[in-house]
Amino acid sequence: MASASSPHVPPPGRPRHAHRSLEHAVLGLTMAAGLPAAIVVLVLTWGQAYSFEVRWTIAAVVLVVWLGAAALAYQLVTRALYLQANLLGALREGDYSIRGAGGRPGSAVDLVMQEINALGDTLQRQRTEAVESTALLTSVMGAIDVAVFAFDMEERLVLANPAAERLIGRSAREMLGRHARDLALDSCLEGATPRLLDRPFGPESGRLELRRSTFRRDGKPHQLLVFADLTRSLREQEQQAWQRIVRVLSHEINNSLTPIKSIAHSIRRMIARVPDVPRAAEIQDGLTLIETRSGALGRFLRAYAQLARLPKPQRRPMRIAAVVHRITELEQRLPVAVNGAVDVEIRGDPDQLEQLLINIVRNAVDAALDTKGRVWIDWEQADGSLQVTIEDEGPGLSDTSNLFVPFFTTKPAGSGIGLALSRQIAEAHGGSLALENRAGARGCKAILRLPL
């Protein structure tokens, strides 16, 4: 083992007199123990008929041995104490890599060294466990989709995980040290919990569950706010409910529509072959209407069946610029401007994402045609995501509460499937789709966010 630093210099901050009293006591006791023997030897020597040179030689040897033994004992005690002090000082400063060696096995000094080395091993193991626990906690905080905020006694933010950054729409560097009031979170530090919140935070909105608890850091109380986004869970349950409804409707109605359409067609052909049937034209018109509406209702249900049969996305690299230009070329009713300048590569299902953008662009063009406005597409990278924006100069949205509800549409010939299916595709890719009115201008803005 490596010994500690030089034993001749006490560690900083260690009072010198704390060691000097013990060292001087050892030196005094050693000299006192050898004093009687030295006196006896000197008396016997000077009492014999020796020459003057022999007497001084014997006296010098006795004094040198006596004082040398005392000095050696002093050095041994001082070295052991300084070595132990340096080891303990290194542990106090957080350096757990130094180990001490010294002393005969089984001696008191060796026992003290073993205990100090064992203390260093224990502290090093504890620090390693603390570092690993901190790294694990940091990884968990970054991986969970739950926003976590920690505030000190003065209600200033001291901790925010990546989910908290996404919730507020700011980076942790911008938020740390800010007062809860500046982040619109001061009301969350009061009141009963858990409770549900419908108020939006930052760029995203939805229903959140708030939980609050307290913890201590450096002996001071802190408050912990945890926000769980229930929007996606509720939406998945809603989606499953719609899928079950669609399956039941498709099964039951299709079983009746097919024979109704077939029977109406057969009766219409039979009447056409029989002459002089009273009111034949009216009957033919009625049967034609039954047959036409049965076919339309069947197509209607087949369109909704896509909600229940949407496959998982087959991800592969794709360029957003190529996809957008291909979609704009499909729209012939109105020119769609493309403002995105920098091409971005993402991993996604090209077929599904193209269908999503086709639905959004088609809705934007439909709205713009009513007011003879414009439609344009733009994209940018923001917070590790690709944000695609489709804007139009149409009349805007009068009611946003039912936009993504299946079967709901404001178009006379609409099916109410496009937006619901588009949002389902976006969320299957780990992204989101939102619609809102343009700020300070007429028209609507659709915002598609996809992870890079």
Residue 295: count of CB within 10 angstroms of its CB = 13
Q: Is the peptide bond before 162 cis (omega within 30 degrees of 0)?
A: no
Question: What is the token pair recorded at 176?
Answer: 């740390």
Architecture field, domain 233-309 = Orthogonal Bundle (1.10)
Q: For domain 144-229, give the CATH number.
A: 3.30.450.20
pTM: 0.48
In the 8-state DSSP scheme, what is residue 319? E
Residue 385: how many other CB atoms lie within 10 Å: 18
Burial 37-69 (b: 16+ CB within 10 A, else e): ebeebeeebeeeeeeeeeeeebeeebeeebeee
What pLDDT is recorded for position 18?
Answer: 46
Q: Is 189 helix (H, G, I), strand (E, B) or coil?
A: helix
Mean pLDDT by 10-residue block, N- to C-terminus, for the chain (452 residues)? 44 48 76 78 74 79 83 82 84 81 74 84 86 82 84 90 83 87 85 76 66 87 86 70 71 72 78 73 78 72 63 86 86 84 85 87 87 89 84 81 62 64 84 86 89 81
Q: In this structure, what DSSP letter does residue 188 have? A: G
- Comparing CA positions, the residue from 386, 406, 381 lying closest to residue 450 is 386
Give the whole-angstrom CA distance, residue 279 versus residue 313.
55
Q: How far apart are CA 327 and CA 323, in angstroms?
A: 6
The pLDDT assigned to 377 comes to 92
Task: Give the start-to-end residue ranges of the domains of the chain.
Answer: 17-128, 144-229, 233-309, 316-451
Rounded CA separation 424/171 (Å): 28
Q: What is the pLDDT of residue 339?
A: 86
**3-state secondary structure (DSSP) of residue 420:** helix
Contacts from 206-214 at CB under 8 Å and sequence distance 24+? 206/230, 206/231, 207/231, 207/234, 212/188
Homologous superfamily, domain 316-451: Histidine kinase-like ATPase, C-terminal domain (3.30.565.10)
Rounded to whole angstroms, the Cα distance separating 252 from 246 reads 10
